[in-house]
Structure 1
Amino acid sequence: MTRYIHTTFGTREVLNEIRSKHLDRPIHLSIDDSDHLRGMLIELTDDSKSAFAMPTSYKVLSSAGADEELRGWLMFSFITLNDQERDNFIRRYEAFLSQGNLHGGLSSFLLQRTNNDHQLVLLSTWNTKGQWEAWSQEDDFPMKRYEGANASYNLRRASYSFAAFTKA
């Protein structure tokens, strides 16, 4: 069964209002670690249709770990690749996941934006930010080859904490 992750962004107040209209759905409020005034609603679902008026939606290409729900500290790594690079990236990442070692992470999701096949996202969840930071320094860190000043992959990152674990 195909799964999807839907997101939308705004202030905590607006997002709580949206969330309260969809209590029947597993929608979670998270806060941007770099801007505590910016929030994100995120939903992991089997439904390709988002509850949000202005969603950013992703198809889950593969996942590993405790992937039945979203929990923990969230790290999004966004990358834009051409067709060949995308296919190679997907193969490499699925091979990495098949090794079964999440380096202490709770879960990992490889996502593809539903309206642009060239935009991929590696979403990993962790107990703490420090665990991700340690993993990102490992030799087998899957994003290492896409980093650096000479990389032309538009790699960018965003981290979020669930609202229950952040200060208002």
Structure 2
Amino acid sequence: MIRSIAITFGSEKVLNDLKAKHPDRELRVYNALSNQNELMMLDVSGEESVFSSPVEYSVLSHIGNDHWNGFISFITLELDFDQQKVFDARINKLMGDSLPDGMKSMYSLHSHNNISERVLLTTWESSSQFELWKKDSNLLMPSTYKTTPSFYSHEADYRAVK
């Protein structure tokens, strides 16, 4: 199992140069769905990052068979200690069930730079399957999180560059 995941952002040239410089690594390039000019590189090797300024995450739990060639989603939540316990329990329940249609894998992550940050990384066959799941999944983000003044969440969705 992968123990850590690192990401970085850059131009097509910079990311392609990184990929060429490290052919032994599993470096994947993605386009942001919100902005086709925003490129992200994902290092799923689990080894120490080769990026000069990576965003690094530790894997808390994982389920499924990775599908890095399609659609991926990062849902980031800023949670206090009690909210983290509830969120982790909800994720463990999700991981205890069978994966929804189209979901290939799910990772629960925490940021190396911010212990209160939780990230749910999911890999999918298509973005439409993700949207259906997100709409129907009340386990993921209960309304109590959204009504807390300190609650922060962010979603970033990407499609693999062929």
TM-score w.r.t. the length of structure 2 is 0.90
| Partner residue in 1 for 2:63 | 64
In the alignment, is residue 30 of structure 1 matched against residue 40 of structure 2? Answer: no
Q: 1:104 to 1:143 in 2, by over 3 A?
A: farther
Decide whether the 8 Å contact of 1:80 with 1:118 is kept in 2. yes
- Superposition misfits of 4+ residues, deviation over 3 angstroms: 144-148
Structure 1: distance between partners of 2:143 and 2:110: 19
Structure 1, gaps ≥5 residues long: none
- Opposite residue 98 of structure 1, the aligned amino acid is G
Q: 1:46 to 1:14 in 2, by over 3 A?
A: closer
1:115-135 Cα distance to aligned partner (Å, 9 max, x none): 211111111111111101111
Query: For 2:69, what is the secondary structure of its paired residue?
Result: coil
- Opposite residue 113 of structure 1, the aligned amino acid is S
Query: For 2:58, what is the secondary structure of its paired residue?
Result: strand
Structure 2: distance between partners of 1:144 and 1:156: 15
Fraction of identical pairs, as percent:
29
Structure 2: distance between partners of 1:92 and 1:78: 15
TM-score w.r.t. the length of structure 1 is 0.87
Decide whether the 8 Å contact of 2:4 with 2:58 is kept in 1. yes
Structure 2: distance between partners of 1:30 and 1:54: 18
1:32-78 Cα distance to aligned partner (Å, 9 max, x none): 1111111011011232x2110000000111111113x6332011101
Structure 2: distance between partners of 1:155 and 1:112: 14
Count of aligned pairs between the two proteins: 161
Query: How far off its partner does 1:80 sit?
Result: 0.5
Give the root-mean-square deviation of aligned CA atoms.
1.9
